[in-house]
Amino acid sequence: MKTRLVVVCILAMGLLWMASPVLAQQQIQESAMFMETLVTQIEKLLQADNVLGTPLDFNGTKVVPVVGYCFGFGAGSGSGTDQKGQGVGAGGGAGGGIMPTSILVITPDGDVKVMTAKKGIISDIMSSITPIALEAIKAKQQEKQAETPEPETSQDKSTE
């Protein structure tokens, strides 16, 4: 029984040793497919539609955010032999971010202003947009109040 177990172990190790180049090739193919998928996704990300944000309208003044993308990635795989045996491996990583770069302001007159996003510019933009936004909110509220009929009260009925 022990002899059979030893023979099975030796055969299994031999098969693994012979299969390791196949496994290494498989790892390389999987890494290549991963990189291809990654590049495809990055191509989708790097379209002009993704750089220009959704325009916001404040009483006829349009504000369009512009963003910049920053990212990096890497992947690798390998196989080899040394005194301890043969090995294969693969790995990868990625990171990135999105940062506001500027804001396009299009006035009702058609004037276009580009405001660069730098330290402090966001607070400047917010302080200049806030009055316009508040004005737009008040106008909407007044429109809703004008459209909504006031309910009759009991005093109104008694005076009729």
Is the separation of the CB atoms in 64 and 104 below 8 Å? yes
> How far is residue 118's CA from residue 125's CA, in Å, rounded to a whole number?
11
Is the separation of the CB atoms in 147 and 72 below 8 Å? no
Percent of the chain with pLDDT strictly greater than 90: 0
Q: Is the pLDDT of residue 137 over 70?
A: yes
Task: Provide the strand spans (E) within 2-141.
Answer: 56-58, 61-82, 85-106, 112-116
Furthest-apart CA atoms within the chain: distance in Å: 112
6 vs 142 pLDDT, higher one: 142
Question: Which residues share a beta bridge with 56?
Answer: 63
Q: For residue range 6-43, what is the model confidence (pLDDT) as tens digits?
A: 444 454 444 444 445 555 667 677 777 877 787 777 77
pTM of the model: 0.41
In 3D space, the residue among 58, 65, 53 whose CA is nearest the CA of residue 130 turns out to be 58
Is the separation of the CB atoms in 91 and 76 below 8 Å? yes
11 vs 126 pLDDT, higher one: 126
| The pLDDT value given to residue 5 | 45
Q: Which residues contact 102 (CB under 8 A, 6 or more apart)?
A: 66, 114, 115, 116, 117
Q: For residue range 144-155, what is the model confidence (pLDDT) as tens digits?
A: 788 776 666 555
104 vs 155 pLDDT, higher one: 104
The whole-number average pLDDT for the span 80-101 is: 76
Question: Which residues share a beta bridge with 81?
Answer: 86
